Amino acid sequence: MRYKKKLFGHSTSSMVLVFRILAFLLFLVGSAHGQEVSPTSQNSLCNQDRLIVPLGKTKASASLFSNLFNREGSMSYESEKAFRVAQTQISQAKKPHALCRKPCEVSDVPSISLRSTPSAFKSQYSDYDYCQRKAEETSQSPLRFQQNGFRTLEELSSWIERFSQGKGNEGKALYEACDASCSPRYHYRISEVESYYSVRAEIVCGHARDKSENSYTLEYGYEWFCQ
């Protein structure tokens, strides 16, 4: 039975759709060659202050077959489970009033946070040194993208799908910035402001994923932010 309690004004079953798409796309993304560009940034004073409340971490399979059928232990299944935990905890979360510097204010509702990291990386391949430099650079300063104004969760899901496949202006910029054999590691934050949805994506461009270990570590929680 699906949970029907509302979060952000929509049913859990609708929000779970977003997380299934996120999970499915986290490991379908390839790589493209190109010249590095500067993605959209959000370096305002307020956005520098955040508080991530971790809720759990699990290992999940990236098997295409398991995810298509949403089997237990797959990324899609574990992402849905993670969302349900986050939903319950957000409804009980207490706002950290001392988080933000003046004149910024803490968000009324935290965003949902989903981060994935491949379980294993290649240690010997032609682009190793290049991807090592990329990993060092983007660990200090991640590639940042933000998109606002989604009227429905379906619109949000569609943007994430295109972005993760290198489509649209943001997706093309991502593929150009994380090129060669390097693999992106995603951190998505989903929030709602005045009945519109927004998504913030931070990407670390690191070493190539070792697909012989076909799994990811999924970390989930919620995040308070300043505005």
Query: What percent of the chain lies above the pLDDT cut of 90?
Result: 37
Listed residue (205, 47, 220) closest to 136, CA to CA: 205
Q: pLDDT grade, residue 44 (50/70/90)? A: low
HSE of 156 in the Cβ direction (CA atoms, 13 Å)? 28
Mean pLDDT on 6-31: 48
Mean pLDDT on 122-137: 96
Q: Where are the domains of the chain?
A: 6-225
More confidently predicted of 29 and 78: 78
pLDDT for res 7: 43
pLDDT for res 180: 95
80-84, 115-119, 199-203: the lowest-pLDDT one: 80-84
| C-beta atoms surrounding 133 within 10 Å | 12
- Tokens 């290992």 found at: 59
Q: Is the pLDDT of residue 109 over 90?
A: no
Distance CA 209, CA 121 (A): 4
Distance CA 195, CA 130 (A): 43
Q: Is the pLDDT of residue 6 over 70?
A: no
Strands (E), the chain: 6-7, 10-11, 50-61, 111-118, 143-150, 183-193, 196-206, 215-225
More confidently predicted of 128 and 47: 128
| pLDDT tens figures, 47-65 | 778 899 999 999 999 888 8
